[in-house]
Structure 1
Amino acid sequence: MLEEISLENIGVITHARIPLAPGLTAITGETGAGKTMLLTGLDLLMGGKADPGRVRTGTDRAAAEGTFVIPEGSAVRERVADAGGEIDDDGALVVLRTVAAAGRSRAHLGGRTVPQSVLAEISGELVTVHGQADQLRLRSPRRQREALDAYLGADHLALLGRYRDAWTERSAVLDEAARLVAERDDRAREAELLRLGLAEIERVDPRAGEDTELDALVERLSNVEEIRLRAAEAHAALVGDDSGDSQPDAVGLVDHARRALDHAGEHDPELASLAARTAEIGYVLAEIAAELSSHLAGLEADPVALERAHERRAELTTLMRSYGSDAAEVLDWASRAGLRLLELEGGDERLVELGERRDALDALLAELADALGAARRRGAEEFAARVTAELEGLAMAGARLVVDVAAAEPGPYGADDVSISLVPHAGAPASPLGRGASGGELSRVMLAVEVVLAASPGGDTPSFVFDEIDAGIGGRAALEVGARLARLARDAQVVVVTHLAQVAAYADQHVVVTKSSAADGDVVTQSDVRTVTGDDRLAELARMLSGQDSEVARTHAAELLRSAVVG
């Protein structure tokens, strides 16, 4: 339920708070008093387009704030929580929309900033707004189908949801299959390139780190003579050579030092320790000399081995130019390429799977479409009969609603075309709502549909707002519109902006909007929005009836109030 709306700097309104009660609330006032600004504010709360032209001249921004009471167990609570908003302990949800004069707008839901689309989605679950534009929308086949589906109730809507899910999946399957077919040549080219690369790598058969090893081997074999010369020189420096030259060597000198320290160590413990460390140095030098000797024995020029190393390194270099900076990266590319090749070669298998899934979805969609069509055909006659009964009570005796359900090409909502026609009076042909109904007739048809939907299993909208529902009608028809609004208000909150006393007389709450003058032009302030009762309400009804507050008009207004009772 919508508990209240606060408006600030919207049109002629500087600031106003409009309390709304359960049942039927009528909002009245002179033409141009600003009462339709309620609809402007409500449209903002429902995620409508932010029009900077609605911001009151001379102000920086306009704001609309609404307080909704959300009952326990409502699905709206979960949606609000998903959006990050909060509902207080009393079930109150505050929705705020601001529009800057410069054009930018902001939306807040339960204290959290949200996109305009989220506001539209959630508010649309709470309030249904009807104005002249909505009467025009009732002429569209889509709206007519939606009305019939809503009448058929939750089980039917759940079936429609299953159909839509299957239709969406089928569309995704067809899109993927089309993409795979369109990309088939590209996949074939990519697969061929991968096969060539893998074949080349398999032929060369690299090992991780092999490129580094080959670099070291080539470097050694290319400089073997220089290496032999320097290694022999180092060996001679360590242990001497076979020339008989008495040049001192490192091993001999270290051994001489050790012996000297050994003798001195008999008298000095510290020198004994140094003698031991010197002996260790001698052992290390001897080991180095032995390894140098062994290495020198294996150092031989090998032009054949050098040539093979050059050839192998050239093969690896060719691979690395295409597939990686070293042998390890080449092997990693090969691993990834193998997986990608399996994926590409599985494209035809995926097409087969998609075809099978498409066939299964086609069968499911046909089954669900048959069920939807059968339900629509069964419900169409009953729906038409109930709306027709309402029309009779709305001073359209002899008028009849006709709902046709015809087979059509399958689409997102089934395989049916739903069309609603109106027989305006007995003996007249049925004409589509888009061509055969006047504005006043459309107003009453729309109201009749809402009354029927509110009483149906699918009728769960908590609040309705009607603007100009009484356009083009008067007299008895106006009284019947008021009565039907009051009946609708038994099951839902109803707010009507009206010029007709016959409609306002049925209201449980009557709000009057007036306009006063100020230095900066006509304005509506908080004091200009009044809930009227007793004599004040009689005076307002009298004004609506005759344009003045006369005794005769008051008598007529009192009579209206006495007769405005819904049995």
Structure 2
Amino acid sequence: MLTELSIRNFAIIDHITITFNEGLTVLTGETGAGKSIIIDAVQLLAGGRASVEFVRHGQEKAEMEGLFSIDYQSHPIFSVAKQYGVEIQDDQVVLHRVITASGKSICRVNGKLVTLAILREFGKTLIDIHSQHETQSLMVPENHIELLDLYDQQEISQVKEEYTYLFKKLQTLKKRYKDLTENEQEMAHRLDLLEFQLNEIEQADLTPDEDIALEKERNHLMNYERIYKGVHDAYQALYGEQKGIEWLNIAKQSLQDISNYDNTISEKAEELSNYYFLIEEISMDLRNFQESLEYDPNRLNEIESRLNEISRLKKKYGQTVNEILSYMGRIEEEIEQIRNKDSHLSKLAEQMKDLENDTYLEAKQLHDLRRKASESLVEDVHRELKGLYLEKATFSISFNPCINHLNELDGDKATSLHKNGFDQVKFMISTNSGEPLKELSKVASGGELSRIMLVLKKIFARHQGVTSVIFDEVDTGVSGRVAQAIAEKIFQISNQSQVLCITHLPQVAAMADIHKFISKDESNNRTTTTVSELTLNEQINELSRMITGTKLTETAKEHAKELLDLATDFKSMQVNKVNS
């Protein structure tokens, strides 16, 4: 969840730090106080598109920082962090973004500089923002197939993993086939290049790890004098009259002469005797090594010349000799394929046909599982829509195969495989009896769209693993019993993910676990936004203001208290339902 948010020099915000808790946090305040500006800052923190207009007038930069606590180790943020080399400690992630007055963005994740695209990858696993005017993932048909797969992940994931493996393998074969069927002139040029490269590498007559061995030998020759002197000095210190070994021998003999009188002396005499013979052996090895040392300047020149040649090849074919040899093996195989193109094309075509059939069978199994999952999802959506007074709404999931020439489906139709199988999935809705099903993005009524979005958010919240869900005035265009139903639905979503909600509805505000009030003040001819957490009495007054719009009345206060009591009863009922 989002634990703390810090915003500095952003629009009309001078500097604010807001702490957040689990559950439902509601933000209210007068129009223009800066409620949506706070959400804009969070959106930029998650990788949204920036503008220099966000930088507070007269300042050099705007700065946003958010601290997120991760609740479970299977959260997708960990795989994203591993992919981009970002370390996560104590299950916490800090997103940081600076927007300069010149339009530049500086992004960091846990202190590491990242690109905006990478920041966006982190952001979409942590935050899901939905507003009246913004297209979200649920509104994009291309995302519907992923959401359906998430809905029944336990059944679908393994089959999808097997399909993905086969599909990628098939794509690789297709690329090889295409490369071999390019025009003759390009293939001839390619063959000439590969043969030149192969000849150049073969003439070098490389051996595995040759560069490592040569660099080691060069290092030895370049430091010959130091090596010789060190070995010579060590040997001279050990061997000879009045040297180390002679003194060790005296000590050894002295202990052996009295070893019969004490067990400890006997043990030490034996230990010293062993050390004496070991050091004597070492001294002989040093002498032999010293005698074997030989400085050959010609050999050093040969090594330097050979390493220069290898360095030239590394610039073209690999960072090490082993990589160069590996590259040589690959181009040998490609040369053989080009020279025997027809036979290879025939083999590839046969392999592609077999693999295509296997891949299609996996795609068909995915399709069947999705059909089964869609029936359950449709039932869930209809159940939730009734709770929001859309009893006559009809939700459906459209399955349309991508048409191509690859395989046959349903007799005379043919399908094209893509990364998710052959299905094109779209969520369809009809909000009134007799109306045709339409895509979600084509639902006209803002109030209806808000309710449909809430239903889908509630269903998918537990599957998407998003840490924080943010609603920015999604309750616009609704009132009465629908407003109360929306408030209850938003609270239910907060039981699965942290929810931050900007609202003008007192019913939604009354459902808050934490109620924060956004206001703006003027000081030194500058407008600034402030955030405060309301006490119970302050919350009653704010709800009263939201009900009347102007003057606080005792009737409005009584109504506000009643709303809070109803919200408390509903929350208790939800807790009892979970516990039972």
**Superposition TM-score, scaled by structure 1 size:** 0.69
80 and 429 in structure 1: CA distance in 2 versus 1, 3 angstrom threshold:
closer
2: CA distance, partners of 1:339 / 1:546:
80
Matched, 1:550 2:544: no
User: Given the alignment, which residue of 411, 422, 427 partners 1:420?
Assistant: 427
558 and 51 in structure 1: CA distance in 2 versus 1, 3 angstrom threshold:
same
110 and 181 in structure 1: CA distance in 2 versus 1, 3 angstrom threshold:
same
1: CA distance, partners of 2:15 / 2:111:
21
164 and 338 in structure 1: CA distance in 2 versus 1, 3 angstrom threshold:
closer
Structure 1 residue 13: Cα displacement: 0.8
Structure 1 residue 87: Cα displacement: 3.2
- Map residues 433-452 of structure 1 onto 2, 5 A cutoff: 433-452=440-459
56 and 360 in structure 1: CA distance in 2 versus 1, 3 angstrom threshold:
farther
Matched, 1:79 2:80: yes
Structure 1 residue 190: Cα displacement: 7.1
Secondary structure class of the residue paired with 1:36: helix
User: Given the alignment, which residue of 478, 482, 491 partners 1:486?
Assistant: 491
Q: Deviations over 1:160-212 (max 9, x none)?
A: 344344334433432332222115444347769999xx9xxxxxxxxxxxxxx
Counterpart of 1:360?
Answer: 354
Counterpart of 1:148?
Answer: 148
106 and 154 in structure 1: CA distance in 2 versus 1, 3 angstrom threshold:
farther
Q: Which moved more, 1:98-107 or 1:44-53?
A: 44-53
Q: Deviations over 1:328-367 (max 9, x none)?
A: xxxxxxx999998646414444434432442233123211
Secondary structure class of the residue paired with 2:422: strand
Counterpart of 2:527?
Answer: 522
Amino acid at match of 1:522: T
Asked whether the 8 Å contact 1:135–1:443 carries over to 2, the reply is: no
Counterpart of 1:28?
Answer: 28
55 and 161 in structure 1: CA distance in 2 versus 1, 3 angstrom threshold:
farther
Q: Deviations over 1:53-99 (max 9, x none)?
A: 1111110101110001123523423532553434343x222110111
Counterpart of 1:464?
Answer: 469
Structure 1 residue 18: Cα displacement: 1.8
Structure 1 residue 500: Cα displacement: 1.0
2: CA distance, partners of 1:533 / 1:440:
31
Asked whether the 8 Å contact 1:153–1:459 carries over to 2, the reply is: no
Amino acid at match of 1:34: G
Secondary structure class of the residue paired with 1:514: strand
1: CA distance, partners of 2:172 / 2:537:
65
Amino acid at match of 1:529: V
2: CA distance, partners of 1:85 / 1:338:
39
Structure 1 residue 418: Cα displacement: 2.1
Q: Which moved more, 1:497-506 or 1:354-363?
A: 354-363
Secondary structure class of the residue paired with 1:62: strand
Amino acid at match of 2:492: R
Matched, 1:561 2:555: no
Counterpart of 2:7?
Answer: 7
Asked whether the 8 Å contact 1:380–1:405 carries over to 2, the reply is: no
Asked whether the 8 Å contact 2:5–2:65 carries over to 1, the reply is: yes
Matched, 1:372 2:366: yes
RMSD (Å), alpha carbons:
2.9
154 and 30 in structure 1: CA distance in 2 versus 1, 3 angstrom threshold:
farther
User: Given the alignment, which residue of 437, 440, 445 partners 1:430?
Assistant: 437
Asked whether the 8 Å contact 1:479–1:503 carries over to 2, the reply is: yes
User: Given the alignment, which residue of 375, 386, 391 partners 1:381?
Assistant: 375
519 and 346 in structure 1: CA distance in 2 versus 1, 3 angstrom threshold:
farther
Q: Deviations over 1:449-501 (max 9, x none)?
A: 1111235xx34223211112102111111111110111111121111111111
Amino acid at match of 1:480: A
Counterpart of 2:397?
Answer: 403
2: CA distance, partners of 1:177 / 1:193:
20
Q: Which moved more, 1:101-110 or 1:41-50?
A: 41-50
Q: Which moved more, 1:484-493 or 1:410-419?
A: 410-419
Asked whether the 8 Å contact 2:77–2:125 carries over to 1, the reply is: yes
Return the index of the structure with the highest Cα Rg: 1
Amino acid at match of 2:538: D
Structure 1 residue 51: Cα displacement: 1.5
Asked whether the 8 Å contact 2:25–2:514 carries over to 1, the reply is: yes
Counterpart of 2:49?
Answer: 49
Asked whether the 8 Å contact 1:62–1:98 carries over to 2, the reply is: yes
Secondary structure class of the residue paired with 1:449: helix
2: CA distance, partners of 1:115 / 1:422:
38
Amino acid at match of 1:8: R
2: CA distance, partners of 1:491 / 1:437:
29
Matched, 1:187 2:192: no
Structure 1 residue 530: Cα displacement: 0.7
2: CA distance, partners of 1:168 / 1:105:
35
499 and 193 in structure 1: CA distance in 2 versus 1, 3 angstrom threshold:
closer
Counterpart of 1:495?
Answer: 500
Structure 1 residue 513: Cα displacement: 0.7
Amino acid at match of 1:345: R
- Map residues 135-174 of structure 1 onto 2, 5 A cutoff: 135=135, 138-174=138-174
Structure 1 residue 539: Cα displacement: 1.1
**Superposition TM-score, scaled by structure 2 size:** 0.67
Counterpart of 1:323?
Answer: none
Structure 1 residue 448: Cα displacement: 0.2
Counterpart of 1:324?
Answer: none
189 and 6 in structure 1: CA distance in 2 versus 1, 3 angstrom threshold:
closer
Structure 1 residue 515: Cα displacement: 0.6
Counterpart of 2:537?
Answer: 535
2: CA distance, partners of 1:341 / 1:80:
40
405 and 110 in structure 1: CA distance in 2 versus 1, 3 angstrom threshold:
same
- Map residues 198-347 of structure 1 onto 2, 5 A cutoff: 342=336, 344-347=338-341
Structure 1 residue 386: Cα displacement: 0.9
Q: Which moved more, 1:103-112 or 1:143-152?
A: 143-152
1: CA distance, partners of 2:43 / 2:539:
28
